[in-house]
Chain A
Amino acid sequence: MKLYLVRKGQFVYYSNELHKVYGVKPMYKKSVHLIRLRDLTQVLTNAASVERYKPKELDSFIFNHKAYTLSKDRKAEAGDYILIHNPMPDSLDTYSLNEIEVVETVDKQGVITSNSHGIKHYEYLLMVPGRANDSHPIDYLDPKGVQAENLNDLDPDNTNITSTSLVPSLGDIYKKRDSDASFESMVVAMKDRTVYLGGGLEISQEELMNTDKWEFLYNLLDK
């Protein structure tokens, strides 16, 4: 019987994969609300089916399709991702356990994130892109039961996973940047790594993700 309390922010395993608790709603039958770190998919479940994990230095995992290794080697710099593993919020702060944020500025005491949170240097672990060679992958509770193609993700030499930072989704509107004529188009279909844009244009996912060539404007469904 598990007697610990599930709390917002904790890293947990659910059906063998690493998730983060983003909310605990005691009134619901499925009271534990999770987000899968690998691809940010939402899952609702209950406390009995999750297993807690406390992230530490040199753990590596995939967050939003990109691999990161937790590190304490250096202080964060502007643009770095950090994991707030030891939150000690001041009385006006609103961040909580294990939030993942982007550093905007750094000062002597700590960093200020793009979310306007002031975080002291001892409160976070740096998320270094890629898997360090001596890292310990924590994506799966039991890696044995995982299909071989997914296991490739855990290999530190596999750089494939880090290059696909974002994937286009249906309804995304893109603007062409490397031409003088104004051209905007919407993603209407996707097959494997080919993206079909309105107007009959077929391009590869990599090309669309190249920010020098195409600029993401907004998604039709966001408005």
Chain B
Amino acid sequence: MDHKKYQGNSVFIISLLLTLIFIIWGVFFTDNLAKVTNTIYEGSIDYLGWVYLGATLFFVIFSIYLLFSKYGNIRLGRETDKPDFNTASWLAMLFGAGMGIGIVYWSVAEPVTHYTTPPYGKAYTVDAANTAMKYTFFHWGLDPWAIYTVIGLALAFFQYNKRLPAAISSAFHPVLGDRIYGPIGKTIDILSIFATVFGIATSLGLGAMQVTAGMHDIFGVPNELFVQLIVIAIATVLFIVSINTGLEKGIQYLSNAAMILSFAIMLLILIVGPTMTIIKVFFNTTGLYVSDFIHMSLRLKPFGEGEWIATWTLFYWAWWIAWAPFVGMFIARVSKGRTVREFVIGVLVVPTLGTCLWMSIFGGSALEIVQNTGNHDLAKYITKNVSLAIFTFFDYLPLSSFLSILGFAVVAIYYITVADTATFVLGMLSEGGTLNPSNKIKMTWGIIQSALAAVLLLAGGLNVLQTASIAAALPFAMIMIVMCFSLLKGLKSEVNLQKGKKRSVQHY
């Protein structure tokens, strides 16, 4: 017992120190931090782009393989376990966890930005609009969900079928054996915590910008860094109160409310927006996406500047990977009792369709509005004020103030639920995978993640958020590749185990 306790603490202390060093660096040497992250950013364009692209494409192929493989019938949990949630609410939860703030933040801004600066071709043309939608589908489609499928499945399988702790290192049991409790396992856990803290800080940073933008649009509060920091501070106080007073159940109700509200907004825009255009965009872009998938997945610019790919594709891949331990943990928690096949359909296929639909509705309407204005001013304005994008978009629709308030509510609720759940996940990861993390450790992580989000915003806003997550996610991308093989090994042994059981009940 003492040995285990020691292990939990060392993971917590080392990952905490690493993050603290980073925060102190950001507060006292802000310029230096911005410079270093920039160097890493440029390095990632020149040297590491192919790693991210290759790894992510591999995860997509691997997930599709799992869908059709003989492992599809393995149940996560005992043979007799039933799912905790019915399928509809399970799918809604997966969607909310995987995309959350990001999808609200980018669904208008991304297609419009691509429209003004397309990866190739001429800007402000119909072709540019189609390319913009295609790349938006690409960045939010199969790839992120494949990343979540791999990590969520590995966590669920080793937790429920092999009865190992709820830590990332448990997924390496088939490869490492009991060394998962030793220094190698600890290193894996520390790296996963480091990536997670950055992934969450990026989301919280985006969330704070979005909440501030919403208040600016509705109440006329200045849209400035100062207000963003206040938003972070208030949210931190709120979720620390909820950790200490057992209001967690309330957080669960809030997150359900956010999900229902976002579906309501989506339907409302489908009805009041340019419905026919949306439907056409959905069909047309799905076709483009499917037929150009391989090209987009491996696209690098060997004989030119890869700036666009680095700011968009690589940033997204890194962000999804940094986000993955958090989302994976959540997905694993809600997926007990599902079979592997159900899991892959539920985590890879259905949410991909969902995000594509969401993007068609928001992006398609936004592009229609932008093109209808007849000049480039609106598109340029949205590109310049990315965090205001969704509210600017609402202003051009009927019922705009109602939509703005709904949108603001969704973003604010997502922010607080993500921050709250993140403290729980970080607590679990840093205490050796226990399902009962102590409140002190949860609170520590709560303060740390908010501080990090604040520091990243101070150091230069979105760009620093992007570069920091690209840097932090790289080691974890490597870990995830090994995880695929480890998972395969584990599934294989499970198939043999279940075969053995079957034989004993056959009558021979």
- What residues make up the interface of A, taking CB atoms closer than 8 Å to B? 88-94, 104, 107-112, 116-120, 173, 175, 182, 184, 217-218
Given A109-B436, A117-B435: A90 in contact with B505 (beta carbons within 8 A): no
Q: Interface range on chain B: under 10, 10 to 19, 20 to 34, or 35 or more?
A: 20 to 34
Choice from A94, A109, A217 contacting B438 with Cβ under 8 Å:
A109
CB <8 Å contact, A116 and B336:
yes
B301 contacts chain A at the CB level, 8 A cutoff: no
A7 to chain B, nearest CB (A): 12
B7 contacts across to A, CB distance below 8 A:
none
Given A109-B434, A118-B435, A120-B436: A92 in contact with B421 (beta carbons within 8 A): yes
A42 to chain B, nearest CB (A): 15
A-B complex: 6 closest residue pairs judged by Cβ atoms: A118-B435, A109-B436, A110-B436, A118-B436, A92-B333, A88-B246
B334 contacts across to A, CB distance below 8 A:
92, 94
A166 to B362, CA, bound (A): 58
B330 contacts chain A at the CB level, 8 A cutoff: yes
Q: Can you identify 28 A-B contacts, CB atoms within 8 angstroms?
A: A88-B246, A88-B249, A89-B249, A90-B248, A91-B252, A91-B424, A92-B333, A92-B334, A93-B435, A94-B84, A94-B85, A94-B333, A94-B334, A107-B436, A109-B434, A109-B437, A112-B435, A116-B77, A116-B435, A117-B435, A118-B435, A118-B436, A119-B436, A175-B504, A184-B505, A184-B507, A217-B504, A218-B505
B352 contacts chain A at the CB level, 8 A cutoff: no
Please name 6 further chain A to chain B contacts, defined as beta carbons within 8 Å, in addition to the given A91-B255, A94-B85, A109-B436, sorted by A numbering. A91-B421, A92-B329, A92-B330, A92-B333, A118-B434, A119-B436
CB <8 Å contact, A116 and B420:
no
B453 contacts chain A at the CB level, 8 A cutoff: no
CB <8 Å contact, A107 and B421:
no
CB <8 Å contact, A217 and B505:
yes
A61 to B174, CA, bound (A): 44
B15 contacts chain A at the CB level, 8 A cutoff: no
Q: Which residue of A lies closest to B434 (CB)?
A: A107
A91 to B330, CA, bound (A): 9
CB <8 Å contact, A108 and B504:
no
A120 contacts across to B, CB distance below 8 A:
436
CB <8 Å contact, A91 and B248:
yes
Choice from B5, B417, B424, B507 contacting A90 with Cβ under 8 Å:
B424
B159 contacts chain A at the CB level, 8 A cutoff: yes
B508 contacts across to A, CB distance below 8 A:
182
Q: Which residue of A lies closest to B336 (CB)?
A: A116
B314 contacts chain A at the CB level, 8 A cutoff: no
Q: Which residue of A lies closest to B97 (CB)?
A: A92
Q: Which residue of A lies closest to B84 (CB)?
A: A94
A79 to B425, CA, bound (A): 27
CB <8 Å contact, A116 and B159:
yes
List which B488-507 residues lie within 8 A (CB) of chain A: 504-505, 507
A173 contacts across to B, CB distance below 8 A:
505
Q: Which residue of A lies closest to B334 (CB)?
A: A94
A203 to chain B, nearest CB (A): 20
CB <8 Å contact, B330 and A116:
no
A79 to chain B, nearest CB (A): 15
A92 contacts across to B, CB distance below 8 A:
329-330, 333-334, 421, 424-425
Given A92-B333, A94-B84, A94-B334: A112 in contact with B436 (beta carbons within 8 A): yes
B246 contacts across to A, CB distance below 8 A:
88
B251 contacts chain A at the CB level, 8 A cutoff: yes
A93 contacts across to B, CB distance below 8 A:
248, 333, 435
Q: Which residue of A lies closest to B85 (CB)?
A: A94
B424 contacts across to A, CB distance below 8 A:
90-92
Choice from B77, B85, B248, B421 contacting A88 with Cβ under 8 Å:
B248
Q: Which residue of A lies closest to B427 (CB)?
A: A90
A184 to B163, CA, bound (A): 30
List which B1-58 residues lie within 8 A (CB) of chain A: 1, 5
A184 to B434, CA, bound (A): 41
A182 to B434, CA, bound (A): 42
B401 to chain A, nearest CB (A): 32
A94 to B77, CA, bound (A): 15
List which B253-290 residues lie within 8 A (CB) of chain A: 255
Q: Which residue of B lies closest to A121 (CB)?
A: B436
B308 contacts chain A at the CB level, 8 A cutoff: no
A111 contacts across to B, CB distance below 8 A:
436
B249 contacts across to A, CB distance below 8 A:
88-89
A90 contacts across to B, CB distance below 8 A:
248, 424, 437
A172 to B159, CA, bound (A): 30
A23 to chain B, nearest CB (A): 12
CB <8 Å contact, A91 and B438:
no
A111 to B434, CA, bound (A): 9
A184 to chain B, nearest CB (A): 7
A192 to B248, CA, bound (A): 50
A91 contacts across to B, CB distance below 8 A:
248, 251-252, 255, 417, 420-421, 424
B499 to chain A, nearest CB (A): 16
B160 contacts chain A at the CB level, 8 A cutoff: yes
List which B419-472 residues lie within 8 A (CB) of chain A: 420-421, 424-425, 434-438
Choice from A88, A94, A108 contacting B5 with Cβ under 8 Å:
A108
A37 to chain B, nearest CB (A): 20
B433 to chain A, nearest CB (A): 10
List which B64-114 residues lie within 8 A (CB) of chain A: 77, 84-85
B333 contacts across to A, CB distance below 8 A:
92-94
A108 contacts across to B, CB distance below 8 A:
5, 438
A77 to chain B, nearest CB (A): 13
A67 to B362, CA, bound (A): 59
Interface centre among A91, A117, A217, A218 (most CB of B within 10 A): A91
A173 to B507, CA, bound (A): 11
B1 contacts across to A, CB distance below 8 A:
107
Given A91-B421, A94-B333, A217-B505: A116 in contact with B251 (beta carbons within 8 A): no
A109 to B508, CA, bound (A): 49
A102 to B230, CA, bound (A): 45
B438 contacts across to A, CB distance below 8 A:
108-109
A91 to B250, CA, bound (A): 9
